[in-house]
Amino acid sequence: MFGQSNSPRFRSALAGTLGVGLVFGLAACGGSDDSDDDSNTATQSSIDCAQFSSFGDLKGKTVSVYTGIVTPEDTAYKESYKPFEQCTGVTIKYEGDKSFETQVLVRAKAGNPPDLAIVPQPGLLKQLVATGKAVEAPAEVAANVDKFWGPDWKAYATVDGKFYGAPSGANVKSLVWYSPSEFKDSGYTVPTTLDELKTLTDKMVADKKKPWCAGIGSGEATGWPLTDWQEDMMLRLYGPETYDKWVSHEIPFNGPESTAALDAVGAYLKNPAYVNGGLGDVKSIATTTFQDGGLPILEGTCSLHRQASFYAANFPKTTKVAEDGDVFAFYLPGKDAASKPVLGGGEFNVAFADRPEVKAFQTYLSTDTWANIKAKGSQGWVSANKGTDPNNLSNPIDKLAATILLDPKASFRFDGSDQMPAAVGSNAYWKQVTSWITGQDTKTTVDNIEKAWPK
């Protein structure tokens, strides 16, 4: 659940080589390493525009961008577009709309789509392609994606053999939050396998602690954190190929794999010796909001909390989130140290026009040049573009997320429930796992979710 911050459901939660088709001087354009947006504003004098000549003179041309990314997150996007605008003469018209996911479909079906949309979730991308208004990405963009991203990312933007857009931002959900000082004082080490995670948990119990804390309350979306837990376990126990079959319902939701994955979650969250540190018993997980679920770490009454990178925003502003800070996170390990399954989300740049200026802008957005400029001016944003230098990110959690995404061993998969039919992914799945955490058995839970799948 919750692929990206512009999802309506999410709102309840809260200088490598250059790509094909673009040559751009990073040293000339990158600006200061200061993360302030104002200090990163590109000026005409700091840009080597000679190397943009292949795009031609685009003066008088306009490219419209439509997205659910609104203020204040939109500032870094607009700043990252300025070098392209100033060197080509084109105007980028940015429109952020909290109703984007609904309205972009309305506009596409009505024949009034934007030139370019920043699309979260592969399911929405497929819906937009189905309108007949989306256009295939140009060859230069496809070549850049082959160069800078893995085939798993390209597959999410490919429909019926046609490729529609380069990835933009990304986020990581496979994280466990912890207290660095507690680990140091207690002699704990960050686990590198699921077995080591279990051993660590048992050691904490032996030290008279309730290791894990969790909360799944989220209004109408109550239950979604448990879907993320199960998705992470599916990836770890059975691998990305089986995960894909489960998400697309090629294997049933009540099959042995899904059942075992939910039981693997229960081994932690339904174990009264493990939860709910600082918050209550197992059933308190259902009545604790997800925003409050990890806060006991700061109080020393909980040691571990599985939640995505965006959870950093829920700690008090005075909290130091860093490897040597009050709280930080580590990668939720795989079954063995050699595998690196990563659950997360992201967006894609999908075009609805094939004018030269639109193709040129798409190409710019598919390069490592844009990714690094965007990284320097952003907080809470990372890219899976292999040309991104994590050192351009000033936020420790962003650096951690980027390091995970850019690991050559990483196998990235999008949130599963977001790709399932709404009757399942944003209804029965949430409701049934909520009943499960308060006492319903696993078989009844997976059977009920399977029954909800549209025939």
- What span, in angstroms and rounded, lies between the C-alpha atoms of 216 and 288? 6
Tokens read off for 397: 């959690």
Mean pLDDT of the chain: 90
Indicate if the pLDDT at residue 227 is higher than 70: yes
Contact 371, 385 (CB under 8 A): yes
For 169-218, the DSSP string reads EEEE--EEEE-HHHHHHHT----SSHHHHHHHHHHHHHTT---B----B-
pLDDT band at 21 (very low <50, low <70, confident <90, very high): very low
Residue 44 has pLDDT above 70, yes or no: no
Q: What is the pLDDT of residues 169-192, one digit of tens each?
A: 999 999 999 999 999 999 999 999
pLDDT higher than 70, residue 97: yes
Could you tell me the CA-to-CA distances from 330 to 195, 353, 388, 399, 432 in Å, in that order?
A: 15, 42, 21, 12, 29
Q: What is the DSSP string of 125-136?
A: HHHHHHTT---P
Quote the pLDDT of residue 276. 98
Please tell me the distance from the alpha carbon of residue 101 to that of residue 120, in angstroms, as a whole number.
8
Phi/psi for 56 (5° steps) reads: 80, -175
Q: How confident is the model at residue 454 (pLDDT cuts 50, 70, 90)?
A: very high
DSSP 245-276: HHHTTSS-TTSHHHHHHHHHHHHHHT-TTT--
134: pLDDT strictly greater than 70: yes
Q: Report which DSSP code applies to 304.
A: B
pLDDT value for 52:
72
Q: What pLDDT score was predicted for residue 13?
A: 42
Peptide bond into 254 cis (omega under 30): no
Mean pLDDT to the nearest integer, 150-172: 96
Average pLDDT over residues 260-283: 98
Report whether 214 contacts 276 (CB < 8 A).
yes
Q: Which of 211, 413, 398 is nearest to 305 (CA)?
A: 211
| Confidence tier at 288 by pLDDT (50, 70, 90) | very high
Token pair 């005075």 is found at 318
pTM of the model: 0.87
Asked which of 20-34, 39-53, 283-297 is least confident by mean pLDDT, the reply is: 20-34
Strands annotated E in 277-363: 305-306, 328-331, 340-351
Query: pLDDT class for 100, splitting at 50, 70, 90?
Result: very high
- Which residues, at least 6 apart from 67, have a Cβ–Cβ distance to it below 8 Å? 6, 74, 77, 94, 95, 96, 97, 100, 117, 118
- Are 341 and 332 in contact, with CB atoms under 8 Å apart? no
Q: Report d(CA 209, CA 215) in Å as an integer.
A: 18
pLDDT of 23 over the 70 cut: no
Tell me what pLDDT residue 54 has: 74
